[in-house]
Amino acid sequence: MFDFDQYLGFLAFLTILTIGFWLMIFLLTFVIPYWVGGSFIEFMKEKREERKLKREQENN
């Protein structure tokens, strides 16, 4: 049915496909939400700091 070379190529294809699948699952469930959440927290810190400086300038 398969020659040995075809069998190795098929195994390489399945390995690459599986690695890509699990990499996409990892990126979509952990890395991207972590990145978006962290940038949102940093944005909120900057806004809070801006408001704090504005309030201090109004008081002086």
In tens, the pLDDT along 3-56 reads: 999 999 999 999 999 999 999 999 999 999 999 999 999 999 999 999 999 999
Residue 45 lies in a domain: yes
| Burial of residue 55 (number of CB atoms within 10 Å: 0-12, 13-18, 19+) | exposed
10, 2 Cβ separation under 8 angstroms: yes
Residue 48 lies in a domain: yes
pLDDT reported for residue 15: 98
How many CA atoms, within 13 angstroms, populate the side-chain half-sphere of residue 8?
3
pTM exceeds cut of 0.85 = no
Residue 4 lies in a domain: no
Q: Measured at the alpha carbon of residue 21, what is the angle toward residues 13 and 36, in degrees to the nearest 5?
A: 145
Determine the structural domain holding residue 49 and report its residue range: 29-54
Residue 50 lies in a domain: yes
